[in-house]
Structure 1
Amino acid sequence: MAAPRPQKLLLLLVVSLLAARRAAAWGKEGHIITCKIAEKYLSEEAAAAVQELLPAAAGGELSTMCPWADTVRFRYHWASPLHYANTPGVCNFKNTRDCHNSKGVQGMCVIGAINNYTTQLLTHGDSPKSSWNLTESLMFLAHFVGDVHQPLHVAFEEDEGGNNINIRWYKRKENLHHTWDVSIIETVMKKLYNKTLDTMVEGLNANLQTDDISQWEDCAKTKTTCANDYAVESVGLACKYAYKDAEEGTVLGDEYYNSRYPIVEQRLAQGGIRLALILNRIFDKTNRKAEATMPLYAAQ
């Protein structure tokens, strides 16, 4: 077969970029931060299972693989809608109304993805061996738990979660979604954490309070994953903080940054704690047997 012409390769690349635009997530740093926090709170059994499932390229660290789902979006086109959920311009989330892809297939959104990959990982250790690729299941789950905590990943369909709202972040032209994915994190890292990711992780961990962790874990009393609850939180924050004062052409500077970066930090920390919670419940065989009748997640 003849090799594709350069013009054809360029066209394919452009089409792929356009198709993947809405799938952008927390930037690489955001996903790594979330998973580094999660690693600190894994139980011994969960940490062992994670180590078993991680590919050799991970170097034994879950956080190195947490951006993976973004790197394969050109190969796994079907996974693009799994990074987010849309609402019809309203500040609430309803699973039956909002969790579907562009063809209306139910469950094809970030909430459905978290529940699906949780279900797959629950087969870990079963006999006969699970038919799922549990390494990919783990990497998808870790990524999507991060995504659902980014407020503009559960936001308005009309503007594609802020992708179609063009603003300036200080002097730089970008869209609002990118501001929340990347720019706020970059700015806070520069201003508060000496431009160092590990220093930011240490700072977020140091600020975690026992009451915070207990409150964020609260839904674990009834479900293995509370992705629906996390989505409700995100769209509420999108309306209250992300969209507010960020109309087309707005210049966003210190006033916006100072009132929004604490929200970003909180969502990164919540994502990490909740990812650890989900993984601990998946891989803790003793507790799972004791709660065998507990539903995996709410069918809302």
Structure 2
Amino acid sequence: MRSLSRLLRRAARTAASLTAAALLLLSSLDAAAWGREGHRTIALIAQKHLSNKAAAQIKELLGDKSIADVASWADEVRNQPEYKGTGAWHFVNLPLGYGFGEFNQQLKAKTEANAYQAFNDNLKLLADKTQPREKRLDALKFVVHLVGDIHEPMHVSRAEDKGGNDIQLQFQGEGTNLHRMWDSGLIHAQGLSDDKMAADYDHPDKQLAAIWAKSPVEQWLFESYLVSTKQYAEAPNGTTLDAEYYKKHIDEVRVRLQQGGIRLAEVLNEALK
């Protein structure tokens, strides 16, 4: 009898472990899928604006793959031993309340690894044709991804709540957090594929697109910082978000995806001219 009880307890523990593992896997896949959708949308828009020279060099580096195919590569490898130091490359943490001048000063003074530093370093490496092909290939994939991260507002936010990950919210009857809302929740609520988003969004005003393309990366980061600052005030911990929140902010998401695509094409065209 005691043996049977031990077997039952062991079976229960095993089932619980398997269930937890399965839930963790599903959660990871869900986060990767929707995060991948936003990154692919930016890359798909950028592809349409590449110069012939840039497109040819990208093909030399990627072969049969496109920049959209590798847009989430940097997320997929961040826990691999050879890339374990790249986790901090995906965000910038700064206190709230800065105007652009002080924000720019504090951004450039940061010594720890961050998205700003990683973007500049990898863009420089990509443009240097004396570097080995494999290094330039990795640099290309990081640049594609980091432009996307920089345009996601919660990737330029506060350290104390892990970029909004610790701010728990309710949306569409489910628990989420502020970071996930902007990574994937608002995109998911549209119900559009990445191909459809890229096709629908890639029609900005030409003069406005030209301004976006020529703006410096510090401006991209500050734009995200301003949006994330508003979100901390608008969606504090414990808030239930409704359809009005979606209607209010989905256009901001669309603009950030547009800007990311136009700007990604511009930096690739410049680096690979």
Flag whether TM exceeds 0.5 (same fold).
Answer: yes
Q: Report if aligned partners of 1:92, 1:236 keep a CA contact under 8 Å in 2.
A: no
Would you say 1:228 and 2:218 are equivalent positions? yes
Partners in 1 of 2:264 and 2:34 — Cα distance?
15
Equivalent residue letter for 1:233: E
The 1:204/1:198 distance shift into structure 2, 3 A limit, reads same
Would you say 1:27 and 2:23 are equivalent positions? no
Equivalent residue letter for 2:177: N
Q: Residue 208 of structure 1: CA displacement?
A: 1.5
Partners in 2 of 1:48 and 1:210 — Cα distance?
25
Would you say 1:153 and 2:155 are equivalent positions? yes
Specify the alignment match of 1:273 in structure 2: 262
Count of aligned pairs between the two proteins: 244
Specify the alignment match of 1:204 in structure 2: 201
Q: Report if aligned partners of 2:45, 2:198 keep a CA contact under 8 Å in 1.
A: yes
Q: Residue 217 of structure 1: CA displacement?
A: 1.8
Q: Residue 200 of structure 1: CA displacement?
A: 1.6
Aligned equivalent of 2:234, options 213, 230, 245: 245
Structure number with larger C-alpha Rg: 2
Identity %: 34
Specify the alignment match of 1:183 in structure 2: 185
Partners in 1 of 2:47 and 2:227 — Cα distance?
26
Q: Report if aligned partners of 1:120, 1:132 keep a CA contact under 8 Å in 2.
A: no
Partners in 2 of 1:33 and 1:186 — Cα distance?
13
Specify the alignment match of 2:253 in structure 1: 264
**Structure-1-length-normalised TM-score:** 0.75
Identify unmatched segments of 5+ residues in structure 2.
1-13
Specify the alignment match of 1:83 in structure 2: 90
Q: Report if aligned partners of 1:26, 1:146 keep a CA contact under 8 Å in 2.
A: no
Partners in 1 of 2:57 and 2:254 — Cα distance?
28
Specify the alignment match of 2:120 in structure 1: 115
Identify unmatched segments of 5+ residues in structure 1.
1-5, 220-225, 285-300
Q: Residue 35 of structure 1: CA displacement?
A: 0.2
Q: Report if aligned partners of 2:37, 2:193 keep a CA contact under 8 Å in 1.
A: no
Specify the alignment match of 1:289 in structure 2: none
Partners in 2 of 1:202 and 1:239 — Cα distance?
30
The 1:278/1:92 distance shift into structure 2, 3 A limit, reads same
Q: What RMSD, in angstroms, separates the aligned Cα atoms of the two structures?
A: 2.7
Equivalent residue letter for 2:48: K
